[in-house]
Each structure stands twice: as structure tokens, then as C-alpha cells.
Amino acid sequence: MAAHSKAIHNLSPNDYILIEMEHERINRFMDDLRNTCCNLETDLDCSSCSREKWGSCSGLLPAFIHDLNTLAGKHFSHEEAIMLSRPHVTDGYEYFRKHREAHFEILSQLQVIVRECKSLRGQVSTAASYRYLYTNILHIFEEHDRTFDDPFILSTIT
């Protein structure tokens, strides 16, 4: 989300506050995900964790997945509403259509990641599942920012 932190200041004050709050929630989500699994940024498995730590990490993974889907869905809906509030943007506007299609694609990719993450849980360590979830969603969101959000926000400059 930091990729367009400067450009986002060009939105209206209300839109800016909404998007900033949502980006902060997503950043907190990513931090929480990273901090929950002590082996996320290593190649270690869960054998170094206490039974309680492993149980906590393992139990929280489904909650992270649920929260991710909720955060992404709400954020994309708000972002599209903000785009449509611009005077030159309509449902038929090519850039808006592509942006909306990208949101649908991300939500589809998240479903695939969730399915794969769930299937990994029985085959690899919980840490590997966290690693898989974290690296894939980070890549998806960063790519979306570069491809769509930055250009749209920059286009709001009057």
C-alpha cells in the first residue's frame, strides 16, 4: 500500500480518509499475519515452537483468511464507488472496467490461495502455510497498486 501513499493525498478529504483507513487496516493485517507466525520470514518449520504457540498459530490461520476476504471485498467496493464519483468515470469507462475486472481477478486469486493454503495445512507446517499466504497476497496487492491504484489516484489531480 505504501507504493501510492503520496498520490493518494490528491483525493477528496472524505475519500482520502476512507482509503487511508482501509490501507492502514490492510497494513495492520499484514503486520499481524507476519507477527503471528514467528517462522514466517525464515525457512524453519513449527518444530521450534511450543505446543501452545503452534496451536495458536494454527487456530488463527482460518481467521486471517476470513479477515483477508472481508477487507479486500470492502476495500474494492469503496474504491470503485470513489472512482465512479469522479465526473468523467462511468461503468462503461474503459479504465474503470479494467480496474473492476482486476478486483474480480484478485478476489478469484485470493480464493485459489485460500484453497491452496487449506490444502497445505495437512501437508506442510503451519509456518509454510503462513508463508504461502503472506507472500502471495503481498505480491497481488503490490502489483495491483502499481498497475491500477497509482495511475487512478494520479488522475485525480486537478
What does the block give as the cell for 50?
511450543
- Tens-digit pLDDT string for the chain (158 aa): 444 444 455 678 888 888 889 888 988 999 999 999 888 888 888 888 898 988 888 889 889 988 998 999 999 999 899 888 888 888 998 888 988 998 999 999 999 998 888 887 777 788 888 899 999 999 998 888 777 655 555 555 55
Instruction: Give the Cα separation of 125 and 122 in Å (integer).
Output: 8
Instruction: Give the Cα separation of 39 and 84 in Å (integer).
Output: 42
57 close to 121: Cβ distance less than 8 angstroms: no
